[in-house]
Amino acid sequence: MRNLVLKIVLIVAVLGLSAWSVFPPKEKLRLGKDLRGGISLVYSIKMPEDAGVQARSEILQQVIEVLKDRVNPTGVLDISITPQGLDRIEVVMPLPSMEVRTLQTDYRNALDRLLSTARVDPADLEEALRAGNASQRYTDIPAIATTVAELQSVYDAARDARQRLQAARESGADATVTTPIEAEVAQTEIREEALRSQVIAMGIDEARLVRALSLSDERQRLKQPDGSLVLDEKGAPLLGPSPREVELTAIRSEFPHLAEAINNVVAAHDAYTSKRKGLDDPEDLMRLLRGAGVLEFRIAVQSSNPTGVNPAQMRDQIARLGPENTDSPSARWFKINDLKQWYNTPEQLALLEADPVTYFQGRNLVATRFNGDVYLLLYTTEQRSMVHATDDPWSMERAFRTADDLGRPAVGFALDQNGARKMSRLTAPAVGQPMAIVLDDQVFSAPTLNSQIAGNGQITGNFSDSEITYLIRVLAAGALGARLSPDPISMSVLGPSIGGDNLQKGLQACLLSVIVVGVYMVVYYFFAGVVANISLACVTLMIFGVMTMIDGMFTLPGLAGIALTIGMAVDSNVLIYERVREEMVNNKEDLRSALRIGFKRAFNTIVDGQLTNLIVCLVLIQVATAEVKGFAVTMTIGVLSTLFAAMVITRTIFIIYAEVLHFRTLPMLPTTVPLIARILHPNIDWMRKRYLFFGISGVLTIASMIGVFSLGSGMLDTEFRGGVALTFSTRPATATEKADGEADPANGRLLMSRSSVEEAVHSIGDQNPNNPILSELASASVLTVGDVTPDFRGTTFQVKVSNPRSTSADSDEANVADDIVKALVEKFKSDLEVTPELTFKGAGDRDHAAHTFVLEKDRLGDNIGQPKYSDPVGRFMGGVAVVVEGISPPATVTSLQERIDRMRRQPDFASAFGRESKVVGLDVADSSGPAPLYSSVAILVHDPDLDARKVDLQLWDLRLAQTEWMLTSTALQQASSLDEVNSFSSAVARTLSAQAVVATVLSMLGIIVYVWFRFGSLRYSLAAMVATAHDMAVALGALALSHWLSGTELGRALLIEEFRIDLNVVAAILTLIGYSLNDTIVILDRIRENRGKLPLASASVINESINQTMSRTFLTSSTTLLSILILYIEGGTGIRPFAFVLLVGLITGTYSSVAIAAPLVYRREQAKPEVEPRSELATSTL
């Protein structure tokens, strides 16, 4: 009884921990990109030819750290970067779901509502003043009502004075009359301008509010004036408000009447950022990766000798205008990356936090604090900085640990030839001065130059080990541009709508599998079936719980793994129940003895079967991709959970049933209806029919291999041959199309037939025979994705095309996906909902002067040299007009505004965040649609901190005009992704093919060794392998057959498409190996048991063993078959090839275990088998 209590406590603890880990599931469960939508990018890393394994691993880690700092500096986004082998990295990021997009819209709407009531439009104010009703129009803004009323009075007085002056001049009045009036005009206009500026300044600055929302929310420790901490009664530091709360409180105090609206904006922003796990578009991620690792060296301004710079003036400007908007032509502020690198003791930290200006002055540096961050002043002139230029490139070749002349740890680095020349020029006149190491515009260190540096340099000091590592990582990042491939060699993009569809269908399939199998078990086993369902529920809970504990990620194959685990978990219970039933019926044992013997005899078989699956899973975890790893991890946890549930949970329930509740019977359907028992225990001479079975299997295997070899590489998906797979959805149908039945009732999108899509895709290739990339579309395959109508039309399609044979290098293949996407978008532009890349005059130019104009006149045309455009400049006065001409294809003003607004929110344009902009159409290209399409537009942008009327024009040009041209150019040239884009270079395909072969070989070898060890005979091991090889061959043959059946009525009825071998199918084949062996091991284990002490099994022993296990074979196969059949039908097209292979494999695996594996262990030299003694089992207690 004590053991029973301990078991119950253990079960409750395990299940309780699992439940605690998984709830609430919406927050705890992590979904892979195939279930939530996401992007996977694989980049190659150029390695030094002489680098060993350790050096390559270190370089990979350095690259990963630098990229993380670049794309996810705060760590709040769910962007993972992991090594792939020794020369590649994979970057995975989720795409925003519909919920995140809705929250983003809510935030923008809340911000717009606030700004509409908190910001005065200069053009609207001018209109109201002219109409004389400004006082009435702005009464709903109490903070400015009084000032507006005074402004209206002064405006009227100024207008009246001007009119009187004009009348006096026209009447010929002398100076004694006009002079006082002129003075009055001047005074009233000066007063009017002051009041007008005051009114406009009273409105909330969007850029300031947006910056406040992005500040740190971490509460700051309170300090005394001397820098020491303020402590409470217990000696703990007191915490004050965070920088974010300080700034938001200041804004609320300035606009008390808008406090509620500001709070609404803050709440909407926080709701959006709490759910936002990635960037808004895959192109944003690729652009950030492309621009990462920009290393620069700059001489720092010395506090003792700030040549050419006024530090006090620069500090005043950063306080008023921000770090990007100071007007010095020779220096600017750079943020310090990590303050931990600038102090060694708590006392130094206290001094730094109390007064960074004085602290860094002690290091001969000029510093200041802005928005909670510390900035250093560095020179920007060509003579005092070493930066990257497209026409004069240089690179950091390596960074490494070394020692200085005193034997202290130091950091060494080596530059290429051009870098050495530049470094020598920079450092020669700056010996004794601090030189800052700047990475991606942040200061990482500023060592003092002890001597001139050329090709090789050394950074010395009293560095700790962590500081050495830090500096090496920073310097190594300078080589990133030369090491990281410019474009990903493999790209996989899955839209959130397809991910959501995969999740919904996968969960439906799993749930339906559980329900059907559960009902099946209850109907067949009665109370024991209920126990099996309880065990099944526990297994499921443990899988989800452990996955959450290890921070595992659920993928679409992972959901398939759960469905398969359901079948395997049922198998364990079936093995136990059938053994118990045999003991009760055949050997007349009582319930307690039957349970003991049943669990005892089933134990080895259950362990053997589960361990063969575990071998396959462990191999997959080592060599598979992230998604397939999800399947392997899920199955591994499922195997261990199944063993625990079968041998602990199920057993404990039956102990309570038999020993605590004293039940003496365990009724089941076969014992209630004996006919079923007789049917499931046939008396067939399987050995007599073995040659017939061998013949059938031989024909099936040969036919399968013929089918496979006839298709050749046509059976391989793009992952294994290199190529592109693209998925796209049609646009929402128009009202007319809906009325004509051309829309899908489920989602309202335009319906198209697969054949028409395929014909259109092939026509692209036929029309471009000399284009090595597009010509491949002539043989592309087209599949439907998701549900289809009864007449086989759909709304989502997948196009798969191989890489051109002429491309071999990754650099040549980088453009394949882009060219194919552009061709498909152009072909189906009237049927798809995509944002194409735009071309225009000057696209890609870094010289912005010809495209940007200062706004200093009232009418737009007068500013851009085209007087015919009379649009008022209004509130954008002092800003910039970015003129874009020759836009192709022409676009609407709204679509262009959306592109620019989205780009403005990206991290690499943070300095432009919050600026107000407006797109004004210039030349209309097409006015026939609901909104005119423009070929030329002007983008008006204003930044109050960079008003051309108030700041130096050189600063305006550098910080506003140049930035806005780059932002506009980038936004217009960026195309939105299709629903899914999977691109695999030939190098990746070769790697994946090798991984698949290695996985298969390792799995087979591992299982051969295990079976050999368990059964003590190579014959048993080879018999299992022959049967498994047969199952694999037939499964591959079924895949080949699908290519001939897919276009037929029979194929459509059976949901068969042109299934190809991808990573998921490889996982299915490896799973098939495990399942087939599990089925085989059950029969071989019974043969070994019935054989007794004889070394060989007779024909009668084999026949009897097969017949005895027939009920288990039927029940397990049928329940697992039901699970996979449901997965095949309900799981959707994303998982259907996986389920198809398993479906075929389950049938052939069951057949081969009986017809191939069992007969192969037969040897003619036999003796009468001896029966294993049973007394010790029968007399033992449960």
Number of domains in the chain: 5
Domain-embedded: residue 638: yes
Domain-embedded: residue 107: no
Q: What is the pLDDT of residues 1168-1178, one digit of tens each?
A: 444 444 433 33
Q: Are residues 729 and 812 in the same domain?
A: yes
Q: Are residues 1115 and 1142 in the same domain?
A: yes
| Lowest-pLDDT choice from 301-305, 753-757, 985-989 | 985-989
pLDDT of residue 810: 47
Q: Taking residues 921-934, report their average pLDDT.
A: 88
pLDDT of residue 884: 96
Sheet holding 723-729, edge to edge: 80-84, 88-94, 38-44, 490-494, 980-984, 723-729, 796-802, 781-784
Domain-embedded: residue 225: no
pLDDT of residue 763: 92
pLDDT of residue 200: 74
Q: Which of 444, 419, 446, 451 shows the shortest CA–CA distance to 435?
A: 446
Q: Is 98 helix (H, G, I), strand (E, B) or coil?
A: helix
518 pLDDT band, cuts 50/70/90, is confident
Q: What is the pLDDT of residues 269-296, one digit of tens each?
A: 988 888 877 776 666 777 677 666 678 8
Q: Please report where in the chains the tokens 């259950």 appear, as a residue.
A: 606
987 pLDDT band, cuts 50/70/90, is low
Q: Please report where in the chains the tokens 């750079």 appear, as a residue.
A: 334
Q: What is the pLDDT of residues 32-72, one digit of tens each?
A: 666 666 777 888 777 766 677 777 777 788 778 778 777 77
pLDDT beyond 70 at 477: no
Q: What is the pLDDT of residues 824-875, one digit of tens each?
A: 888 888 888 777 789 999 887 878 989 999 998 888 999 999 988 888 887 7
Q: How far is CA 404 from CA 312, 410, 437, 458, 460, in A?
A: 38, 6, 19, 8, 6
Considering only the C-alpha atoms of the chain, give the largest distance between any 2 of them, rounded to a whole number of Å.
142
Q: Is 999 helix (H, G, I), strand (E, B) or coil?
A: helix
Q: What is the pLDDT of residues 1109-1123, one digit of tens each?
A: 888 888 878 877 887
225 pLDDT band, cuts 50/70/90, is low
pLDDT beyond 80 at 673: yes
Q: Can you tell me the distance from the alpha carbon of 43 to that of 87, in angstroms, rounded to the nearest whole number?
A: 9
Q: Can you tell me the distance from the alpha carbon of 421 to that of 408, in angstroms, rounded to the nearest whole number?
A: 28
Q: Are residues 826 and 891 in the same domain?
A: no
| Lowest-pLDDT choice from 113-117, 281-285, 591-595, 714-718 | 281-285
172 pLDDT band, cuts 50/70/90, is confident
pLDDT of residue 921: 93
The residues near 1173 (Cβ < 8 Å, ≥ 6 apart) are: none
Q: Can you tell me the distance from the alpha carbon of 804 to that of 723, in angstroms, rounded to the nearest whole number?
A: 8
Measured on CA atoms in the order 742, 745, 750, 753, is the torsion positive or negative?
negative
pLDDT of residue 13: 94
pLDDT of residue 492: 66
Domain-embedded: residue 87: no
DSSP bridge pairs for 239? 221
Q: How far is CA 335 from CA 367, 368, 373, 780, 963, in A?
A: 10, 10, 7, 51, 19
Domain-embedded: residue 110: no
CA atoms within 13 Å, Cβ hemisphere of 1181: 3
Taking the model in full, what pTM does it have?
0.62
1037, 700 in Cβ contact below 8 A?
Answer: yes
pLDDT beyond 60 at 1180: no
pLDDT of residue 1082: 83
pLDDT of residue 992: 66
Q: Are residues 679 and 630 in the same domain?
A: yes
Q: Can you tell me the distance from the alpha carbon of 1077 to that of 1085, in angstroms, rounded to the nearest whole number?
A: 11
pLDDT of residue 698: 94
Report residue 24 as tokens: 């609430």
Mean pLDDT taken over the chain: 81
Q: Are residues 897 and 825 in the same domain?
A: no
Last residue of a domain, one of 455, 483, 511: 483
Q: DSSP states of 161-227 as a string?
A: HHHHHHHHHHTT--HHHHHHHHHHHHHHHHHHHHHHHHHHHTSPPHHHHHHHHHS--SPPBPB-TTS
Q: Are residues 865 and 990 in the same domain?
A: no
Domain-embedded: residue 530: yes
949, 855 in Cβ contact below 8 A?
Answer: no
Burial class from Cβ neighbours inside 10 Å (0-12, 13-18, 19+) for residue 1179 reads exposed
602 pLDDT band, cuts 50/70/90, is confident
pLDDT of residue 1177: 37
Q: Are residues 829 and 869 in the same domain?
A: no
Q: Are residues 1046 and 1175 in the same domain?
A: yes
Its domain, for residue 603, covers 494-707+986-1179
Give the other-Cβ count within 10 Å of 967's Cβ. 24
| Lowest-pLDDT choice from 141-150, 813-822, 1075-1084, 1130-1139 | 813-822
Q: Is 437 helix (H, G, I), strand (E, B) or coil?
A: strand
Last residue of a domain, one of 963, 984, 1005: 984
Q: Are residues 980 and 966 in the same domain?
A: no
Q: Can you tell me the distance from the alpha carbon of 775 to that of 779, in angstroms, rounded to the nearest whole number?
A: 8
Q: Taking residues 1155-1163, report their average pLDDT.
A: 88
Last residue of a domain, one of 180, 202, 224: 202
Q: Which of 969, 958, 973, 957 shows the shortest CA–CA distance to 884?
A: 969
Q: Taking residues 479-492, report their average pLDDT.
A: 65
Q: Are residues 1015 and 1061 in the same domain?
A: yes
Q: Between these two residues, 81 and 95, which has the higher pLDDT value?
A: 81
Q: Can you tell me the distance from the alpha carbon of 22 to that of 633, in angstroms, rounded to the nearest whole number?
A: 17
Q: Are residues 408 and 470 in the same domain?
A: yes
Q: Are residues 925 and 957 in the same domain?
A: yes
pLDDT of residue 1168: 47
pLDDT beyond 50 at 1167: no
pLDDT beyond 90 at 882: yes
Domain-embedded: residue 1059: yes
Give the other-Cβ count within 10 Å of 405's Cβ. 8
Q: Between these two residues, 1075 and 246, which has the higher pLDDT value?
A: 246
pLDDT beyond 80 at 823: yes
787 pLDDT band, cuts 50/70/90, is low
Q: What is the pLDDT of residues 724-744, one digit of tens each?
A: 878 888 888 888 888 888 888
Domain-embedded: residue 416: yes
% pLDDT > 70, the chain? 86
41, 91 in Cβ contact below 8 A?
Answer: yes
pLDDT beyond 70 at 326: yes
